[in-house]
Structure 1
Amino acid sequence: MTPSGEHLEQIIEAVLLAAQRPMSVEQLFALFDEHEKPSRHDIKTALMQLSARLDASAQELVEVGSGWRLHIRSDYAAWVSRLWEEKPPRYSRALLETLALVAYRQPITRGEIEEVRGVSVSTQIIRTLEEREWIRVIGHRDVPGRPSLYATTRQFLDYFNLRTLDELPALAELPEPEAQEWEDELDRAAREQPPLSGHDEAAHDDKTEDGEATHSLSVEQERRRALGPSDDDPLLNIPMPEISSLTFAEISARFDPSSDLPESDSSDASDADDAQASDET
């Protein structure tokens, strides 16, 4: 007998709760035996009904790059995060700038990232982003040396609760308060990551070859978010605790060679601040 209506909705809810990861309509469809398979349309309808029913609950059903996922609403993050004693993971500004450049200007080479940032990109930063499965090599630029082209992944979309890269905010059009809200969302998502392996944790505590320190990502919560929007979008700025930060105007200036902003907060100085902040922590 084919489940339908409320029963199908409850089956999907149970599956998503148990899976604790995004599941696509096709994956949900494959769970049913031939004699009881609902249609894909029925599954989509049940997902919509489940989402509406959860509107008044602490959970929400969201669609991300890999499918549909149940999670706790961010309104309750302050209390839920107290279940874990570990400090939330912290990312160096150098790593975040690199990730933002890949997200907004992909496909992009390491040399192009270095040209925008004004400093060399540590191999450890690239390795960390690849190990997190947030970026990957999708090809090579047809120039001497054939440098690798980097782009974001489906895991990047999942991590940041995005269905597609079209949902990334165009930071040039965002007023400062809205941009800060999105940064807060990134920070909240970072607190839901599982721990790295012992080997990975040790690697993150070491200095990178440029002197850019990457912070430990050793929290018990992690799991989330492929390929990119327009070349006109500026770099995402995400200020982190105990690390000096750039203003949105200064970040935009890096994409605008005609800008007259002073260079007092250049990447060379900021990366030195990253290393100093890491040593102090």
Structure 2
Amino acid sequence: MNMTGLGVLLLLAGIGVLIFGILSFRKKNWPRRKTQIVIISSILAIIIGFGIIPSAETDEASTEKPKQEEKTKKIAVKPVLKAEKTFSTNDDGTIVIKGETNPGAEVSLIFDDKPTEVTTADDNGAFTFSLDEFDEPEEAVLAIEIDGETKEQPLSLALSASYETKLAAEAEEERVAAEKAEAERVERDRVAAEEQKAKDAKIAAEKKAEQARVAAEQKAAETKRAEAERAAAQPATSNEQGETVYITATGSKYHYDQNCRGLNNSNGETAVTIDEAEAQGFTLCGFE
């Protein structure tokens, strides 16, 4: 029996004896002195019972506290983190990181130059990270924090030999494609430059020909105008002055200049006035 039970028993016994003593005293069944002793004893039992009950509860409380502290200590969880130290990609560049930790714990995968990946362990403590298109070796750190205590594990993330070969082949294909595209671009630029050059040359030639045509037309017009002005001026002068011209026996033209090339094949010239030449049907030589 614990102290609380004993206190309650004394308390109840004291109350019962007190009531019995009082009733006996009233009925005068007991002598006065004996009744007084019973009443006093019952009162003492009641007082002792009252004293034992709080003391016992305090003792139980003090005993319970270490038990609760012990239980709390047992509840505190140590962080656990288990995983391989090195992981490699598969042939497609996917790297899968697996491990074990405390059930439901939040696990972080920390990189130096990439965003941190976070996942949560299942009810058995298993966790998994899956990273796609992993194309270069990396160093990373797995980390968990439980009840303010942190546990970390460094990882080396590598490329498998087959995936490195695949990456090298893809890089070579990209290089060849880039060189081909550059060669095609250079060829297109060369053809375009030649076409532009030919077009510019054609435009220049057409412009030059047009300029020559215009110049020739202008020169012909000026020559014709000059001949017309001279033809118009010479007969008037000849008529006024009775100028001498030269004719041939077989020709039909008269000439102001005895050295005119129209007289190169003549066998002799005759000097007459212009009025006489025109009267005979002669006209002005086209060379003058």
- Give yes or no for TM over 0.5: no
TM range, normalised to the smaller chain? under 0.3
**Structure with greater Cα Rg:** 2
More strand by share: 2
More helix by share: 2
